[in-house]
Amino acid sequence: MDRAVIGEGVDRVDARVKVSGRAAYPTDHDPPDVAHAVLVQSTIAAGRVAALDTSAAEAAPGVLAVITHENAPELCAAQGEGGPVPPPPLQSDRIVHHGQTIAVVVAETFEQATEAARLVTVLYARAEPVVDIEDPRAEHVRDPFGTDDATGDVDKALAEAPVRVERTYRTAANTNNPMGPFATVASWDGDELTVHDCTQGPSRTRSDLANVLKAPRDSVRVLAPYLGGGFGAGLRTWQHTVLAAVAARQVGRPVKLVLTRKQMFTSVGHRPDTRQTLRIGATRDGRITAIDHEAWQTLSIDDANYEHVSRCSLSGYASPNISARDVQIRVHVPSPGSMRAPGDAQGNFALESALDELAHELGMDPLELRLRNHADVHPVTGQRWSSNELRACYRTGAEKFGWSRRDPEPRSMRRGRTLVGYGMAGTSFFFYQSSCAARITVTRDGQAVVGSAGMDLGTGTYTVMTQLAAELLGLPLGRVRVVLGDSSLPRAPSAGGSGLTGSMGSALHDARRNLIRSFLDLVRDDAHSPLRGADVDDVRVEDGRIVREDDGRGESYTEILTRHRQDELSAEGSAEAPKEDLPVVPTGPYAAKFAEVHVDEDLGTIRVARLVTAAHCGRVLNEKTARGQIVGGTVGGIGMALFEHTVTETRTGRIANGTFGDYLVAVNADIPDLEVHFVGGPDPTSPNGTKGCGELGVPGTPAAIANAVFHATGIRVRRLPITLEQLL
């Protein structure tokens, strides 16, 4: 057997089933006698429903039920185990955002439900909405996560600093918009609920539904083996999922509810917009003496959202004086949620733009400024990092990009009428690993099945877990099958935060150890086994065999199971999040981003010509899927920098560009070849040595592009997305 199963660019094990159309997504599930549900949504942003007339809808052909706040069951406003659950739907006449669900129509066919939904008439008592982050009427929630932090005396250090920059940066709201619209298919069998859902966390959705519906957790099963994109939108249990379950119970049949593209803009979260103020003080030789970062972000009127924005400044650079604070501003907008690299994507743009402005004030190379202020230990706690190869990222990225060819003077590099700019940024992503469980079963024919409730939202979890299990069990890849996306399997965290690979991989290590122990227990008194009396620490696995370390004698899984007349042997394993009292700070991945942009001097149009990423992701289990994750995230970062902006009308609270015809995203023609280079080695925090990489593509990309635009044009843009009118 080829033992080099880790690190290679192994093709996705789920590729064939996907490209052949055999992968079952939630929208593909059509149980017998399924009914269809369609949402009716508010056309005002603030006020209440004064009157509802559903009589015409109820009398329409094929209609089975019309559910509103007047006849909906009482639902529980529960705190979820993985964070806040959006407010339960249809519990009052109150309207808090444009596009809020005010009714759900259930009919025999989708077309009948759609037509009947148009027949629901609503009379509103309107109120004036508050939708702007700067509106003085908005409620401010200070230190919303209880994590504001500071060290030293920032104000004193800033007052004494020879060089200071104080700037305000803005980032626009972005909408996740995966290719596949979110959908839920809910079925009841007595008191047992089965849900096929576009979720990134079947275990979490199971618990959330049980809490909201006031049902036993074991009576709910959530299935999500495949997902047509998520990018964080699937990390919360949204109202349409709850409504599908409510509707299915009311009509006594399975119910399918599929969101429209317009409803995707109002129903499954978005990256909140921010206003951030950075104050940085430094000596004239470029030593940072103070960093002060205050970040405002929008929040819906009656929901909560866990999104640190200023956090990156607490650990990004060495400074004796640091302060970071977050403020959430309640406005009449849909509930926000995670979008790839939540918080860090916005915070990094402000921090890395401010660093570039400081470098310009000092007349210093932006790369040299970052190297000079590299945080060798955690700036606030003084603890060592578990691993940190950011310096190597800077040096490798600069070499591959050709940073030394950069003329430091803005507007000094050009090709005819095209201005050329070089920009760079450093970045990291927070460490995240959560408790996870997994099961390994080895059968008499030498096959292994790995099961966990975690899911693969397209990042490659099926593939890397197949590789890892193959290595741990000493089996070829073709003899390992991974089953995911089913809440009835051992409990797992959601796929997000660059943490699932580390969490599930650690659980696999524990399950493998327990499995080998079970095999050894089976032969402990077996006179025919060369493994008789062996302990788990005395053996290794190779070529489908358990082998003694001392003399190399052993036997295969198949031989043991056959002799003991067992068809299979299973074991579960679990892993917990690292303890908080570790002597080191567990660290996530790091990267350095280098961008070249071309700006038309007359028109102000911007093209990203090159973008190089050098990343430290710990042990890379599969270079092909890891590179794909960083490339995909970088595309999203280019979109955040130059295109994406969810526009909310100030007067009405309506999203003005809620279609793909109006909401701009980066497409193939906007993207150059994106280079990714991996540096550094394994991280000791987990037995896998991984640090995650899925979130790493976005942070740093907008700042590197904005800094390159300044270098090309001499115009500093502090608001995303960067548009051509800002450069004219």
Catalytic residues: 695
Ramachandran category for residue 232: left, alpha or beta (phi over 0 → left; psi -120 to 50 → alpha): left
The alpha carbons of the chain give a radius of gyration, in whole angstroms, of 27
> Is the CB of residue 493 less than 8 Å from the CB of residue 434?
yes
The two three-digit tokens of residue 337, written as one number: 């949620």
Handedness of CA 721, 725, 726, 728 (dihedral sign): positive
d(CA 154, CA 169): 20
**For the chain, percent helix, then strand, then coil, each to nearest 5?**
25, 25, 45
Query: What are the C-alpha distances in Å from 609 to residues 247, 533, 606, 638?
Result: 51, 64, 9, 11
SS3 assignment, position 346: helix
Q: Helices 500-522 and 461-473, interaxial angle, to 10°?
A: 30
d(CA 339, CA 393): 25
d(CA 272, CA 100): 17
Beta strands 414-415 and 163-171 are unpaired
The two three-digit tokens of residue 388, written as one number: 């940190």
d(CA 257, CA 456): 22
> Is the CB of residue 519 less than 8 Å from the CB of residue 569?
yes
The two three-digit tokens of residue 75, written as one number: 């639902």
d(CA 383, CA 582): 9
Phi, psi dihedral angles at 144 (to 5 degrees): -65, -20
Q: Which of 83, 258, 236, 235 shows the shortest CA–CA distance to 186?
A: 258
The two three-digit tokens of residue 378, written as one number: 């955690």
Return the beta strands (E) in 236-311 as ranges: 255-258, 274-282, 288-300
* One-letter-per-residue 3-state SS of 102-147: EEEEEECCHHHHHHHHHCCEEEEEECCCCCCCCCCCCEEEECCCCC
d(CA 532, CA 225): 40
On the 0-12 / 13-18 / 19+ scale of CB atoms within 10 A, 652 is middle
On the 0-12 / 13-18 / 19+ scale of CB atoms within 10 A, 565 is exposed
> Is the CB of residue 608 less than 8 Å from the CB of residue 387?
no
d(CA 519, CA 559): 11
SS3 assignment, position 462: helix
CB hemisphere CA count around 527 (13 angstroms): 0
- The tokens 């006849």 sit on which residue? 71
> Is the CB of residue 443 less than 8 Å from the CB of residue 568?
yes
Local structure of residue 374 (DSSP, 8 states): B
Q: Which helix (H) or strand (E) holds 393?
A: helix 390-401
